[in-house]
Structure 1
Amino acid sequence: MRLLHTSDWHLGQTLHNFDRTYEHQRFLDWLLDTLVEQQIDALLIAGDVFDNANPSAASQRQLYRFLQQARARAPQLDIVVIAGNHDSAGRLEAPGPLLEAHGTRVVGNVVRGPDGEIDLERLLVPLTGKDGTVRAWCVAVPFLRPGDVPRIVREAVDGEEDGQADAFDAYLAGIALLYRQAHALAKERATNGEAIVAMGHCHMVGGDASPDSERRIVIGGTEALPASMFDADTAYAALGHLHLAQRVGKQEHLRYSGSPLPLSFSEVGYRHQVLRIDLDGARAGAIEPLFVPRAVELLRVPAKPAPLKEVIAELVGLDLPDAPPHAWPYLEVRVLLDGPEPGLRAQVEAALEGKPVRLAKIEPTRRVVTSAGIEPALSLDQLAQLQPDDIFRRLWQQRFGEDAPDDQLAAFAELLLPEDGKADGKEAA
């Protein structure tokens, strides 16, 4: 049996206000061809299908059109989709009955019965081979919020009213327990030696996150889960959330497929991919990356922040091939500044005039300036006495190591004017 693992599509995402529908459609078209060419039996989509919980109608049509076309081109294909932390679980599950009729199973929510127990059956999805027989069981676990997991209780110690564990510890332990319970149920079903495949949207210990593009799952930094939560006889774990394709704990069968296209400039160097997994009985055999063609390039100019004069010269000399506007590369300009540069954007835009490129971001990096004297920390009473222009002066001094120029002070004062045009710092603040 052959699986294809993908995740983190983020349909509907914009890159610094630029629409990316064209890029997502190019990926989905490529994926359709790949499903047929590689003779895939089951497609696993491990969460963050949409970029936000309220996706546009266009983004939803894009998803459902893909699912319809995939089933039409590969009639025996099983498709399993779980919700990620960016998705609305309810919205993703809403068309579930219609999708199931066409071979797609969506698991967005963890559901409890009248007795409060989690319905583990909903998390178990049979995967069938080309002959229609069950060849594997997929434990499909969506992104779990604290209320979704079993309550963990430990023995109380002196001074505690009950045995409830610390909130973070209870949450993480509850996630691990739910995976183990679902795996145990899958093991009961796998009576003929079928493989058990886990699927989840979570952050594993040691996982390499991408700056600027991945939303933290839990505030506090303790959200990483250990690889030990997967049973030893798990054939493969198809994970979502991290955008860089990677192994977990250097184990070949525990994988993040990564996102199919770069979702921020920090991902420029990633080799975006989906993963093809050949199951050999109850175990995973060959696991191969299939690299996704990049429909639109992301450029960082220069490679490292440089002084403005050098940056402008490099932009003027930028030679790019002609392309239709929807295929123009996105550009991040990286400038090293000694001080404020009010006309920065105008200079950059002038250097790029007439070039087939989309200016997405100007990233200024300022040299660290240390003032000769460091003022003592202010008390709360002193902070309460500060006016907005006092704070502006202090921040300017802190960042640039000099007094704020008169023209900047005047501009800031103009921002503070109320509608009647009379300056009133407290009212404006």
Structure 2
Amino acid sequence: MSVRFLHTSDWHLGQFFHNHDRDYEHTQFLSWLLYQIKEKQPHALLIAGDIFDVINPASSAQKQLYQFLADAHDLAPHMQTLMIAGNHDSGYRIEQVEPLLEKFNAKTVGVIHKNNDGQIDLDRLLIPIYNEQKQIVAWCLALPFLRPAEITGLNEHTSNNQSAIAYIHQQLIAEAKARKSDDQALILMSHAHMQGGETSDSERPIVVGNEEALSTALFDDVIDYVALGHLHKPQKVGQEHIRYSGSPIPLSFSEINYKHQVLEVTIDPTQSDDTRFQYQPIFIPRTVGLIRIRAELPDLIEKIKALPSGEVAHLSARDFLEIEYTTDAPPPVDLRQQIELALPKDRYRLLRISRIYQKTADDQHNESKIDLAPPTPESLFANIWLKQGYEPDPAVLQDFQQLLHEAQHDLDEKQG
């Protein structure tokens, strides 16, 4: 028996990009995804974490998700929607709405739970996937983002983060092997940074010492497909069947060239190794562009005037624009005004103007940026080092980012 499913992740509903919301783009993506569900009628939709952009998402972001689930259920009543929490999500929060999710044939796994005997509750992590005849065609091993504070100390085998992650994978895979029959597939869904994965600058840095990235050796050969979330670039990791679907929209300018997609996957466990697994990327249309202009200062205004024109009525549908110019002399004091006058009317949202000036004849560059977004704790911390004449120490930055994330997570959970 074969199983057909769609693999997506890292929606980041509710994201603000340089103080601009992404509601329009997310609405367009979800409408597009509903069309794919209607046409393809998969057995399951897998959302591999970072459903929301923040732990306490706005009501509008939550409404987007639940309206999507209701609409998807109307279009494909037999389809199961399986979700896990990412590092941007509150696992406890998304599990609180289980009774609502059941109405839409949806299930979410937010955190690792223990049974009364203190062992891992594997039943919550091992979810059967059914076909239209109510036969089990696959098992989904659902692993949310594994925070050290939530998984260490579960038992004597989980004394530190590394041992806890390995133990959880071993126990879950062993239980899945015991339950599956020969004609049922095993799909592992995880939100994690795998070794060898290519990152962008929009993934929130989550580090545990120097061992953040996990090894694909955690995945037993019996696993037919690994549906990953966390990294925003669609990519395979080591083997064809271990894949990140990537985010549906670009979440930073470093993702301009990403080919955002949803993966359509079919697995037939009864076939040989060469034919049992098939996948097809379904490319997502980009509804709002990210445009970057780089030019010498004398050519800058003409390049801006050459941008495509044509008014876009709704602000949320206008393209994002970043400008970088090179000069070895001070720019005119009214440069920003010149840029705004040269821009085609009501077509772009200007996010940032960056000045790059040449300090030496050997073309070493020093960069000065005018960023229209507020500073982040990470940038402020790094600037302290720079002002003292030092490059930020990577190990110290990693420790700071870990402490910052843990503090923010604790604060958000208390406020929630």
| TM-score normalised according to structure 2 size | 0.81
Contact 1:136–1:196 (CA<8 Å) still a contact in 2?
yes
Alignment of 1:312-391 (within 5 A): 312-325=301-314, 326-338=316-328, 341=331, 343-352=334-343, 354-368=345-359
Contact 2:310–2:345 (CA<8 Å) still a contact in 1?
no
* Among 50, 64, 85, the residue aligned to 1:62: 64
CA drift of 1:242 comes to: 0.2
SS at match of 2:163: helix
Deviation string, structure 1 residues 274-300 (Cα, Å, up to 9, x no partner): 101001126742111000011111111
CA drift of 1:347 comes to: 3.0
SS at match of 2:129: strand
Using a 3 Å threshold, how does the CA distance of structure 1 residues 79 and 395 change in structure 2: closer, same or farther?
A: closer
Q: Give the counterpart letter for 1:200 in structure 2.
A: S
CA drift of 1:202 comes to: 0.2
> 2:235 aligned with 1:246, yes or no?
yes
Deviation string, structure 1 residues 92-142 (Cα, Å, up to 9, x no partner): 111112212321011001112344322111101100011111100000000
Deviation string, structure 1 residues 258-317 (Cα, Å, up to 9, x no partner): 000101111110100010100112674211100001111111113xxx322211221122
Alignment of 1:257-272 (within 5 A): 257-272=245-260
Deviation string, structure 1 residues 197-225 (Cα, Å, up to 9, x no partner): 000000000000012x1101215442011
Q: Give the counterpart letter for 1:335 in structure 2.
A: Y
Using a 3 Å threshold, how does the CA distance of structure 1 residues 279 and 17 change in structure 2: closer, same or farther?
A: same
Using a 3 Å threshold, how does the CA distance of structure 1 residues 235 and 395 change in structure 2: closer, same or farther?
A: closer
Contact 2:182–2:269 (CA<8 Å) still a contact in 1?
no
Deviation string, structure 1 residues 51-84 (Cα, Å, up to 9, x no partner): 0111100000000000011011101001100000
Matching residue of 1:285: 277
Distance 1:123 1:214 in 2: 25
Q: Mind listing any 5+ residue stretches in structure 1 that lack a counterpart?
A: 155-162, 371-390, 399-429
Contact 1:172–1:223 (CA<8 Å) still a contact in 2?
no
Q: Give the counterpart letter for 1:273 in structure 2.
A: Q
Q: Give the counterpart letter for 2:291 in structure 1.
A: L
Using a 3 Å threshold, how does the CA distance of structure 1 residues 150 and 183 change in structure 2: closer, same or farther?
A: farther
SS at match of 2:302: helix
SS at match of 1:44: strand
Matching residue of 1:34: 36
Q: Which one has the largest radius of gyration?
A: 1
Deviation string, structure 1 residues 309-345 (Cα, Å, up to 9, x no partner): 2112211222323332332211111122335545443
Contact 2:118–2:155 (CA<8 Å) still a contact in 1?
no
Contact 2:193–2:212 (CA<8 Å) still a contact in 1?
yes
CA drift of 1:367 comes to: 2.8
Alignment of 1:232-243 (within 5 A): 232-243=221-232
Which of 104-113 and 274-283 deviates more? 274-283
Distance 2:256 2:147 in 1: 31
Q: Give the counterpart letter for 2:199 in structure 1.
A: A
Q: Give the counterpart letter for 1:113 in structure 2.
A: N
Using a 3 Å threshold, how does the CA distance of structure 1 residues 92 and 366 change in structure 2: closer, same or farther?
A: farther
Contact 2:266–2:277 (CA<8 Å) still a contact in 1?
yes
Alignment of 1:167-316 (within 5 A): 170-211=160-201, 213-218=202-207, 220-249=209-238, 251-281=239-269, 284-302=276-294, 306-316=295-305
Runs of 4+ in 1 over 3 A off after TM superposition: 150-154, 339-344, 394-398
Which of 278-287 and 192-201 deviates more? 278-287
Matching residue of 2:368: none
SS at match of 1:319: coil
Using a 3 Å threshold, how does the CA distance of structure 1 residues 164 and 367 change in structure 2: closer, same or farther?
A: farther
Contact 2:260–2:284 (CA<8 Å) still a contact in 1?
yes
Q: Mind listing any 5+ residue stretches in structure 2 that lack a counterpart?
A: 362-382, 391-416
CA drift of 1:368 comes to: 4.2
Matching residue of 2:27: 25
Contact 2:119–2:154 (CA<8 Å) still a contact in 1?
no
Alignment of 1:393-408 (within 5 A): none
Alignment of 1:39-58 (within 5 A): 39-58=41-60
Aligned CA RMSD, in angstroms, stands at 2.6
Distance 1:396 1:100 in 2: 56
Contact 2:248–2:284 (CA<8 Å) still a contact in 1?
yes
CA drift of 1:362 comes to: 1.7
Matching residue of 1:96: 98
Contact 1:150–1:178 (CA<8 Å) still a contact in 2?
no
Q: Give the counterpart letter for 1:277 in structure 2.
A: V
Using a 3 Å threshold, how does the CA distance of structure 1 residues 336 and 38 change in structure 2: closer, same or farther?
A: same
| TM-score normalised according to structure 1 size | 0.78
Q: Give the counterpart letter for 1:307 in structure 2.
A: E
* % identical equivalent positions: 44
Alignment of 1:410-421 (within 5 A): none
Using a 3 Å threshold, how does the CA distance of structure 1 residues 309 and 355 change in structure 2: closer, same or farther?
A: farther
* Among 121, 135, 142, the residue aligned to 1:119: 121
Aligned residues: 360
SS at match of 1:200: strand
SS at match of 2:114: coil
Distance 1:397 1:224 in 2: 31
Deviation string, structure 1 residues 17-61 (Cα, Å, up to 9, x no partner): 111101100000000110121221100000000001111000000
Deviation string, structure 1 residues 169-214 (Cα, Å, up to 9, x no partner): x313321221121111111111353111000000000000012x11
CA drift of 1:353 comes to: 5.8
Contact 1:152–1:173 (CA<8 Å) still a contact in 2?
no
